[in-house]
């Protein structure tokens, strides 16, 4: 878990602004959910057998004996809020987005933190493949607006409750045949979660499963048509993509479309964003049967890529004006005036350390102040002073009495 110090926080805010803008352009509405939920919510949605639920959650018993968990992702919470807040009643399609901290106790490494931040969206109430594509386009649009274009879009279909069980049995049968060649982890997964064996990064596993049947080749007619339409739409929109038949993702709730956006600028943790369709999840969580699709993207990983690509986000911005007082009365005038400007929303700063003019000017420079105004006995007597623009050195004589109005 790390701190985001002021210089970095300014860059985060610039990126968050782009996130809000693009979400608005796609007509998603913001939702803010609590930082923790009842543990059962995640076990039921993400899946008991996933790494997230079985090894990575920050779970504890609170003082009333309830098991609560810091949220490891945003989808389960958003859906719980959708059900409890009856959002589905307000229209047949509900588009939600969120941003915030998530928690997973993973082994920390570059691009993998225990408290990280995601932004994501969920569209509830429609089966349309257009929405699956929209979920890919939202993060891609944000990345493009932030100057990042070198990403890869990987898509797959993980089928539905109709075509998945027979395929799972077929995969199990095939995996049992090569059991001896698989890693211990993968051997353990054959019976419980055979899909994850295909997703293994282990070289031996990859070799042993090279010619295994893939879900995308065993889809039912409905899933197959849906997957074809997603591809057709991506082509129409000129969005490059690759089909990755081994992409299964680390959460169990997906049906049909699953996708990831990766970047070569990241190390082994190369996923910038991931998502997919989950047509059974709302009902599983106690709501009416409601199809859904969504994505989430990592903020820290995006910042890493932006740094590597050297893309420009506004750096730290300083006060609009630094008011410098030379003696007691002029310091008081500077403080009063700074407060009056701030009340009008203008970022203003003054000195609190009784520093010399030279030191105050140095401070104004260090803080990237756009203007300075130096006030002393003389200025207070004549009621005029000189405002200096730091970048150009240009000076303007101003009346102190009307300064707040004119500078505003
Ligand atoms: P996820 O793939 O688990 O999906 O996470 C989405 C993104 O969050 C990842 O691609 C990555 O950028 C970031 N991320 C995940 N774990 C970490 C970590 N430990 N440190 C830093 N970044 C991380 C979900 O969370 C689903 N809820 C996505 C979704 C929404 N599917 C449907 N709707």
Give the DSSP letter string of 381-401: HHTEEEEEETTT--EEEEEST
Q: Which of 271, 282, 303 to probe ligand 1 with, by most ligand atoms within 8 A of CB?
A: 271
Shared-domain flag, residues 287 and 375: no
Q: Is 310 left (phi over 0), alpha (psi -120 to 50) or beta?
A: left
Shared-domain flag, residues 123 and 150: yes
Distance 40 CA to ligand 1 centre (A): 20
Domain endpoint, select from 308, 342, 371: 308
Q: What is the mean pLDDT of residues 198-208?
A: 91
Residue 309: CB partners within 8 Å, gap ≥ 6?
147, 148, 150, 265
* pLDDT(217) > 70: yes
Shared-domain flag, residues 32 and 149: yes
Assign 90 a pLDDT band (cuts: 50, 70, 90).
confident
What does the alpha-carbon distance between residue 157 and residue 228 come to, in Å, rounded to a whole number?
Answer: 10
Shared-domain flag, residues 230 and 349: no
CB-CB contact of 324 with 375 (8 Å): yes
Please give the pLDDT value at position 1.
94
Q: Which of 301, 302, 303, 306 to probe ligand 1 with, by most ligand atoms within 8 A of CB?
A: 301
Assign 345 a pLDDT band (cuts: 50, 70, 90).
very high
Domain endpoint, select from 308, 330, 351: 308
Kindly report the protein residue whose alpha carbon is nearest to atom 12 of ligand 1. 298
What does the alpha-carbon distance between residue 360 and residue 372 come to, in Å, rounded to a whole number?
Answer: 10
Q: Which of 1-10, 79-88, 130-139 has the lowest mean pLDDT?
A: 1-10
Shared-domain flag, residues 242 and 384: no
- Mean pLDDT score of the chain: 95
Domain endpoint, select from 283, 308, 333: 308
Assign 199 a pLDDT band (cuts: 50, 70, 90).
confident
* pLDDT(313) > 80: no
* pLDDT(168) > 90: yes
CB-CB contact of 159 with 219 (8 Å): yes
Give me the phi and psi of 294, to 5 degrees please.
-165, 180
Shared-domain flag, residues 397 and 262: no
Neighbours of 46 (CB within 10 A): 24
Question: Which atom of ligand 1 lies nearest, measured to the CA of 75?
Answer: 27
CB-CB contact of 280 with 288 (8 Å): no
In a domain, 187, yes or no: no
As a whole-number percent, the residues of the chain with pLDDT over 90 amount to 89
* pLDDT(21) > 80: yes
Shared-domain flag, residues 397 and 351: yes
Assign 201 a pLDDT band (cuts: 50, 70, 90).
confident
* pLDDT(398) > 70: yes
In a domain, 172, yes or no: no
Cα–Cα separations (whole angstroms), residue 244 to 23, 155, 332:
27, 6, 67
Residue 363: CB partners within 8 Å, gap ≥ 6?
322, 351, 355
Q: Is 43 helix (H, G, I), strand (E, B) or coil?
A: helix
Cα–Cα separations (whole angstroms), residue 239 to 23, 133, 141:
19, 10, 11
Please give the pLDDT value at position 316.
64
In a domain, 367, yes or no: yes
In a domain, 136, yes or no: yes
Q: What is the mean pLDDT of residues 42-56?
A: 93
In a domain, 83, yes or no: yes
H/E run at residue 35 = none
In a domain, 19, yes or no: yes
Kindly report the protein residue whose alpha carbon is nearest to atom 11 of ligand 1. 298
* pLDDT(192) > 90: no
Shared-domain flag, residues 37 and 62: yes
For ligand 1, is residue 319 a contact (CB within 6 Å)? no
What would the two tokens of residue 274 be? 């991931």
Q: What is the CATH number of the domain that holds 95?
A: 3.30.930.10
What does the alpha-carbon distance between residue 254 and residue 45 come to, in Å, rounded to a whole number?
Answer: 10
What does the alpha-carbon distance between residue 120 and residue 100 come to, in Å, rounded to a whole number?
Answer: 9
CB-CB contact of 34 with 117 (8 Å): no
Shared-domain flag, residues 243 and 297: yes
For ligand 1, is residue 125 a contact (CB within 6 Å)? no
Helix axes 221-236, 129-145, angle to 10 degrees: 30
Distance 9 CA to ligand 1 centre (A): 21
Shared-domain flag, residues 387 and 325: yes
pLDDT digits (tens, 9 = 90+) for 230-264: 999 999 999 999 999 999 888 999 999 999 999 99
* Number of folded domains that form the chain: 2
Please give the pLDDT value at position 315.
65
Neighbours of 336 (CB within 10 A): 13
What does the alpha-carbon distance between residue 80 and residue 45 come to, in Å, rounded to a whole number?
Answer: 10
State the DSSP string of 239-258: ---EE-TT---S-TT-EEEE
For ligand 1, is residue 274 a contact (CB within 6 Å)? yes
Q: What is the CATH number of the domain that holds 372?
A: 3.40.50.800
In a domain, 302, yes or no: yes
Q: Which domain holds residue 79?
A: 6-163+219-308
Shared-domain flag, residues 371 and 266: no
């Amino acid at each position: 878990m790390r701190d985001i110090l002021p210089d970095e926080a300014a860059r985060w805010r610039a990126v968050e602004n782009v996130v809000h803008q693009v979400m608005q352009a796609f007509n998603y509405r913001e939702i803010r959910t609590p930082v923790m939920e009842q543990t059962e919510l995640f076990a039921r949605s993400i899946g008991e057998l996933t790494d997230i639920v079985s090894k990575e959650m920050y779970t504890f018993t609170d003082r009333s004996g309830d098991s609560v968990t810091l949220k490891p992702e945003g989808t389960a919470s958003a859906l719980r809020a959708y059900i409890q807040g009856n959002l589905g009643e307000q229209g047949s399609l509900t588009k939600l987005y969120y941003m915030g901290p998530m928690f997973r106790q993973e082994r920390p490494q570059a691009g993998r933190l225990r408290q990280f931040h995601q932004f994501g969206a969920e569209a509830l109430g429609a089966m349309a493949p257009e929405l699956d594509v929209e979920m890919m386009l939202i993060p891609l649009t944000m990345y493009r607006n932030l100057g990042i274009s070198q990403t890869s879009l990987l898509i797959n279909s993980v089928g539905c409750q109709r075509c998945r069980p027979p395929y799972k049995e077929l995969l199990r049968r095939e995996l049992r045949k090569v059991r001896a060649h698989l890693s211990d982890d993968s051997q353990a997964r054959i019976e419980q979660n055979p899909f994850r064996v295909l997703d293994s990064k282990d070289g031996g596993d990859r070799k042993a499963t090279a010619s295994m049947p893939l879900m995308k080749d065993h889809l039912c007619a409905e899933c197959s048509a849906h997957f074809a339409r997603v591809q057709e739409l991506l082509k129409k929109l000129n969005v490059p993509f690759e089909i990755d038949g081994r992409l299964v993702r680390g959460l169990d709730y997906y049906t049909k479309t699953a996708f990831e956006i990766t970047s070569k600028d990241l190390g082994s943790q190369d996923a910038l964003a991931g998502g997919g369709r989950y047509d059974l999840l709302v009902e599983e969580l106690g709501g009416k049967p409601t199809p859904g699709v969504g994505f989430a993207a990592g903020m820290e990983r995006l910042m890493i890529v932006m740094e590597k690509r050297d893309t420009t986000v506004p750096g730290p911005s300083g006060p609009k004006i630094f008011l410098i007082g030379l003696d007691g009365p002029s310091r008081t005038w500077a403080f009063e005036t700074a407060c009056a400007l701030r009340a009008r929303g203008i970022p203003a700063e003054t000195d609190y350390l009784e520093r010399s003019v030279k030191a105050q000017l140095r401070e104004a420079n260090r803080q990237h102040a756009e203007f300075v105004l130096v006030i002393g006995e003389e200025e207070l007597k004549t009621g005029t002073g000189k405002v200096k623009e730091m970048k150009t050195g240009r000076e303007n004589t101003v009346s102190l009495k009307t300064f707040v109005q004119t500078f505003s």
